[in-house]
């Protein structure tokens, strides 16, 4: 199993220390990861090994397009200058040919950013371990192999937004004398939904990109379910499928919600007839074709992997089950096709809901405590000058005064002084 949990960014190390103390140092280890040779790195390494002048090698490396995951073969196809150099220059061709052979192989080992494995017995009896130069115990197996042998892998993730929320609540307590119960906010708060509907979401978790803000102004969310849906909708698959337009139009009554069968209403009504979540695929299989939860999960996995022979068997099972509810085969087949098409980009609702809650919490803090929240947010990006400038502009747009650094009043971080934000000396 693979479990992901988000923790306050600044306290992640304390969580790992607790896990080691709780379960025993001999049963807990972080996970190794291997950095592989990407196209540019492979060319530079080969050039260095061959003693070629850095300037010459760097020129070749920079001909590789700055495209995510681009390979040398792909670069030779799409970069005319690289292709010409490969054909016309012997040294370039030699470097590239050797680099192609090395591309993708492990270059160095490091510690996985979040992965921790926890065993029910001493880990050294289950898999090989090693000690890093700074004394950390890590697995010699990658996370994929750790999962394959059945060990529990947990991703202990440091989420900066949780740190912002924690710091904002602390600032509110210190400056306003109010204790915010951040985990028990009223999820029907109108001010929050007004903020979201206006696209005033710079600094709001998951909702601050330009595209997301446009979506919010069109959708006009007015219930928590809408925030969950937004997290699931704003992804490449739904963006290119027309799902978003259907969702928005049906929500606002501009388009009639249509169900292929009346039994679908209880499953899809919350998303205005759009099949958006993986859980909905599973519920449809259970409700219409009597799949157990385990069988429905197998169906979801099969649809995600798109294995024809497995899908063929699952389709027949679905048709047979639907017939017990007197659903015509043609209708059941159409529903299965719909499920299959959406399963490719269906989102896990539990994940979307968890993130939607954090989105709501940050929107609430921005709506009711804008100075304190933006102060906490600025401190969270204090080491990134461009981001500090960006969020300072947002503060100015919000009418928040930014006071300059003061040797007598400033602290290391940004602080709230009399309803204004005082610049931190660490910025």
Question: What mean pLDDT comes out for the span 147-157?
Answer: 91
- 403 pLDDT tier (thresholds 50, 70, 90): very high
Write the DSSP symbol of residue 61. Answer: H
- Does residue 64 surpass a pLDDT of 70? yes
The Cα 100–Cα 102 span in angstroms is 5
Strand partners, 407: none
Range of lowest pLDDT (162-171, 258-267, 271-280, 297-306): 297-306
Q: Residue 104, Cα to own-chain centre: how many angstroms?
A: 25
- 1 pLDDT tier (thresholds 50, 70, 90): low
Residue 267 near residue 280 (C-beta atoms within 8 A): yes
- Does residue 401 surpass a pLDDT of 80? yes
pLDDT recorded at residue 301: 84
Q: How far is CA 379 from CA 70, 163, 168, 388, in A?
A: 36, 10, 10, 9
The Cα 56–Cα 50 span in angstroms is 12
The Cα 96–Cα 87 span in angstroms is 11
Average per-residue pLDDT in the chain? 93
- Does residue 300 surpass a pLDDT of 90? no
pLDDT recorded at residue 319: 96
pLDDT recorded at residue 340: 86
pLDDT recorded at residue 240: 74
Tokens of 409: 């009043």
Report the residue count for the chain: 427
* Domains parsed from the chain with CATH numbers: 2-36+107-160 (no CATH), 39-104 (1.10.10.1600), 262-343 (no CATH)
Question: What mean pLDDT comes out for the span 217-225?
Answer: 97
Tokens of 71: 């390979």
Residue 215 near residue 208 (C-beta atoms within 8 A): no
Residue 282 near residue 300 (C-beta atoms within 8 A): yes
Residue 338 near residue 273 (C-beta atoms within 8 A): no
- Does residue 170 surpass a pLDDT of 90? yes
The residue that leads in pLDDT, 242 or 12, is 12
The residue that leads in pLDDT, 370 or 408, is 370
- 71 pLDDT tier (thresholds 50, 70, 90): very high
**By percentage, how much of the chain surpasses pLDDT 70?**
100
What DSSP line would sit under 196-250, residue for residue? HHTT--TTSTT--SHHHHHHHHHH---SHHHHHHHHHHSSHHHHTTTHHHHHHHH
- Does residue 119 surpass a pLDDT of 90? yes
Residue 395 near residue 373 (C-beta atoms within 8 A): no
pLDDT recorded at residue 204: 98
- Does residue 120 surpass a pLDDT of 80? yes
Which residues, 6 or more positions from 343, have their beta carbon under 8 angstroms from its beta carbon?
Answer: 278, 281, 300, 303, 304
**10, burial (CB in 10 Å: exposed 0-12, middle 13-18, buried 19+):** middle
Q: How far is CA 218 from CA 188, 237, 242, 250, 273, in A?
A: 19, 19, 14, 12, 18
Question: What mean pLDDT comes out for the span 163-182?
Answer: 96
Question: What mean pLDDT comes out for the span 162-174?
Answer: 97
Residue 196 near residue 363 (C-beta atoms within 8 A): yes
- 326 pLDDT tier (thresholds 50, 70, 90): very high
pLDDT recorded at residue 100: 94
**35, burial (CB in 10 Å: exposed 0-12, middle 13-18, buried 19+):** exposed
The Cα 378–Cα 411 span in angstroms is 13
- 237 pLDDT tier (thresholds 50, 70, 90): confident
Question: What mean pLDDT comes out for the span 261-268?
Answer: 95
The Cα 212–Cα 219 span in angstroms is 10
96-112 pLDDT, tens per residue? 999 999 999 998 899 99
Write the DSSP symbol of residue 159. Answer: E
């Amino acid at each position: 199993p693979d479990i992901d949990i988000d923790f306050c960014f600044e306290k992640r190390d304390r969580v790992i220390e607790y896990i080691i103390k709780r379960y025993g140092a001999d049963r807990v280890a972080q996970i190794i990861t291997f950095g592989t040779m990407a196209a540019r790195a492979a060319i530079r390494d080969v050039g260095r090994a061959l003693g070629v002048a850095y300037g010459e090698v760097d020129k070749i490396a920079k001909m590789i397009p700055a495209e995510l995951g681009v390979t040398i073969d792909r670069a030779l196809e799409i970069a005319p200058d690289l292709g010409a150099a490969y054909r016309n220059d012997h040294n370039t061709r030699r470097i590239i040919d050797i680099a192609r052979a090395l591309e993708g192989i492990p270059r160095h080992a490091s510690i996985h950013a979040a992965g921790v494995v926890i065993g029910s017995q001493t880990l050294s009896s289950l898999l090989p371990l090693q000690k890093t130069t700074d004394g950390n115990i890590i697995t010699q197996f990658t996370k994929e192999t750790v999962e394959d042998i059945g060990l529990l892998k947990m991703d202990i993730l440091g989420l900066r937004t949780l740190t912002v929320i924690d710091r904002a609540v602390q600032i509110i307590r210190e400056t306003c004398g109010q204790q915010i119960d951040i985990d028990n906010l009223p999820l029907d708060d109108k001010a929050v939904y007004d903020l979201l509907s206006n696209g005033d979401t710079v600094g709001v978790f998951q909702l601050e990109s330009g595209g997301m803000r446009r979506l919010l102004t069109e959708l006009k969310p007015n219930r928590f379910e809408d925030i969950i849906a937004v997290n699931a909708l704003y992804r490449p698959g739904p963006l290119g499928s027309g799902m978003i337009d259907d969702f928005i139009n049906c929500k606002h009554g501009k388009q009639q919600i249509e169900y292929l069968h009346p039994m679908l209403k209880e499953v899809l009504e919350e998303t205005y007839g759009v099949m958006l979540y993986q859980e909905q695929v599973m519920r449809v299989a259970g409700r219409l074709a009597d799949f157990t939860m385990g069988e429905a999960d197998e169906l979801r996995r099969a649809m995600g992997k798109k294995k024809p022979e497995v899908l063929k068997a699952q389709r027949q099972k679905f048709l047979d089950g639907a017939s017990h509810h007197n659903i015509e085969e043609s209708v059941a087949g159409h529903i299965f096709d719909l499920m299959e098409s959406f399963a490719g980009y269906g989102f896990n609702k539990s994940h979307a809901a968890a993130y939607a809650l954090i989105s709501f919490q940050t929107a609430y803090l921005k709506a009711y405590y804008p100075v304190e929240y933006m102060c906490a947010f600025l401190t969270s990006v204090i080491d990134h000058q461009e981001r500090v400038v960006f969020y300072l502009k947002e503060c100015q747009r919000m009418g928040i005064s930014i006071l300059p650094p003061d040797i007598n009043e400033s602290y290391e971080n940004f602080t709230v002084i009399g309803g204004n934000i005082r610049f931190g000396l660490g910025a």
